[in-house]
Amino acid sequence: MLISVWDTVFKLMKKIVIFCLPFMCSFIFVSQHATAQQNNISIIPISTFRNYNWGVGIAYERLVGKEGRFGVNVPISLAFINDVFSVDAGQRNSNRFQLNPGIRYYMVQINKMLYGIGLSYYYIRGQTEYYGFGYYPGQTQSESWKYTIWQAGPMLNNYASFNINKHFYVGIEVGVGLNIVNKGKQEPTGEVYKRDTEKLMLQTNFQIGYQF
């Protein structure tokens, strides 16, 4: 079980690096003539998104401006979700893909500590399958219903980081958002419906980063 989880994490990280590489190159190219040049790449060894258990991910941030007080941040992560079982029914969940790009403003810079607030727009996507038994006159048969779900909306984030040395730092982020989009699509009919659960979205993450 543990091997399969870390195999999934490794494959995700590989895809994330390939996905983020064009953005990183474009940010570096555009900012070559800027006064401040600072890039942050961080690993997210643990994160939480509402009730999606825990996740892992990676993030890239580009600081802009003469003092580097503004940043464009692109975190991508994968959340792991437990299945739910009961006597005659259950729920199988796929892992959730999460994207939460946004901007930050660092209002406090004291020695090795940074504190900032920011706005982001998150997007979550995954699949879930409900299964159980249907009771009909004279017979009982197993049934299952598979859905693709996605959620999206704005989020207000608070972020603090502490520099270990010139290049390495650790950080923590806490965010509160609204589920503006919260839908599901039944497979294979393609019928889309609105989900009423999870009005608020909460997220936290811990980061270990390298700046250059």
Structure tokens at 208: 């270990």
Domains in the chain: ranges and CATH: 2-211 (2.40.160.70)
Closest CA to 145 of 132, 134, 130: 130
Chain-centre distance of CA 63, in angstroms? 20
By CB atoms closer than 10 A (0-12, 13-18, 19+), residue 48 is middle
Write down the pLDDT at residue 57: 96
CA dihedral 63, 107, 209, 172 (to 10 degrees): -140
* Distance, CA of 151 to CA of 154 (rounded, Å): 11
Closest CA to 157 of 170, 142, 174: 174
95: DSSP letter: P
H-assigned helices in the chain:
2-30
Q: Is the peptide bond before 188 cis (omega within 30 degrees of 0)?
A: yes
Write down the pLDDT at residue 177: 93
* Distance, CA of 28 to CA of 8 (rounded, Å): 30
Write down the pLDDT at residue 106: 93
Helix (H), strand (E) at residue 112: none
Taking the alpha carbons of 66, 174, 50, 155 in that order, is the dihedral positive or negative?
negative
Cβ of 115: how many Cβ atoms within 10 Å?
Answer: 13
Cα angle value 196/200/201 (rounded, 5°)? 115
Write down the pLDDT at residue 109: 84
Rg (CA), the chain: 20
Please report, in tens digits, the pLDDT of each residue of the chain (212 residues total): 444 544 554 454 455 445 545 444 444 444 444 444 589 999 999 998 876 778 999 999 999 877 788 999 999 999 887 666 655 666 677 788 999 999 999 998 888 899 999 999 999 998 887 767 666 676 666 677 788 888 899 999 999 999 999 899 999 999 999 989 888 888 878 888 787 766 788 999 999 999 99
Chain-centre distance of CA 102, in angstroms? 12
* Distance, CA of 10 to CA of 39 (rounded, Å): 23
